[in-house]
């Protein structure tokens, strides 16, 4: 079964994750994979959040 979570993060939420390492780790641990549909349409904030949530993602 595939679980999906669609969420648009704001800049404030990104700052919150950066300032609260324990919350960031909890969010990271919830998902084994993150799939991005139509990656070419992502904005810089969304890309920054992907890198935050997936630190091993290639830049």
C-alpha to C-alpha distance for 56 and 10, rounded to whole angstroms: 22
Q: Which range scores top for mean pLDDT: 4-13, 21-30, 44-53? A: 21-30
Averaged pLDDT, 25-49: 86
C-alpha to C-alpha distance for 9 and 7, rounded to whole angstroms: 6
- The per-residue pLDDT for 38 is 86
Averaged pLDDT, 21-49: 86
Q: Among candidates 22, 12, 5, 23, which has minimal Cα distance to 45?
A: 12
Which pTM does this prediction carry? 0.66
* Residue carrying structure tokens 């669609």: 6
Q: DSSP character for 41?
A: G
Averaged pLDDT, 8-14: 76
């Amino acid at each position: 079964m595939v679980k999906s979570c669609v969420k648009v993060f704001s800049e404030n939420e990104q700052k919150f994750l950066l300032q609260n390492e324990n919350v960031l780790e909890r969010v990271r641990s919830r998902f084994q994979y993150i799939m991005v549909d139509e990656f070419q349409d992502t904005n810089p904030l969304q890309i920054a959040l992907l890198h935050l949530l997936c630190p091993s993602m290639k830049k």
